[in-house]
Amino acid sequence: MLTDATATFHNIQTVSLKPDFKDALVAAYNSDKHLSRVKAVVETSPDNTAFRMVNDLLWLGSRLCIPKSLVGDIFDMVHDQQYHIGYHRMYAKIASHYYIHKLDKHLRRYIYHCKDCRRSQTTRHKPYGQLQPIISPAIPFHTVTIDFVSALPSIEDINMLLVATCKFSKSLLIIQGYDTLTADAWAHRLLDALLYYN
């Protein structure tokens, strides 16, 4: 892809490229949504932009512009062939030599989907707990889950609901109330509804 030979020409760093990669770059400039517009501006009014064309290649200062279709090749060269370095080191290496539109977004996505990095990544969180499902006997309303729906529009001082769901039958009890009720008052309403239902 790229060779190590570099030279400076009019404050723009030119990099010796393999001919096939250079041809791919030049062709990709025309199909790239962002860089094709930049290239058009450079060709029509070069003094109004920081971008420059040198030997058919687009540069931003001393950084070579890489079209979206060839970003994967650069990431492969800097990340996969450099022992899967992390985001910050990779960003510093790429940003110092190349201009890639929305580099942060593309780089995070590339590293996130790197299978080798994901496989060898150290977990930095506490171990997950063991989920224990609630086993309920086959008796309706033996085990009940409760949810509150609050901040409802007030109608006759009712602005809150308690929704009780039976774990066995999946039946619902909807109990009306208001947000100033205490826990004891809600418990009494729930017990009254359960006794009435059964």
Most confident of 2-6, 146-150, 153-157: 146-150
Task: Tell me what percent of the chain is helix, strand and coil, each rounded to the nearest 5.
Answer: 40, 25, 35
Residue 3: the pLDDT is: 40
pLDDT of residue 17: 62
> Residue 16: what pLDDT?
55
- Low-confidence winner among 39-53, 59-73, 123-137, 151-165 (lowest mean pLDDT): 123-137
The pLDDT of residue 80 is above 60: yes
The residue assigned the tokens 């892809």 is 1
Average pLDDT value for the chain: 84
Confidence of residue 116 (pLDDT cuts 50, 70, 90): confident
- For the chain, how big is the Rg over CA atoms in Å? 32
The residue type at 23: D
Find out whether 133 and 167 touch, Cβ atoms under 8 Å.
Answer: no
The number of residues in the chain equals 198
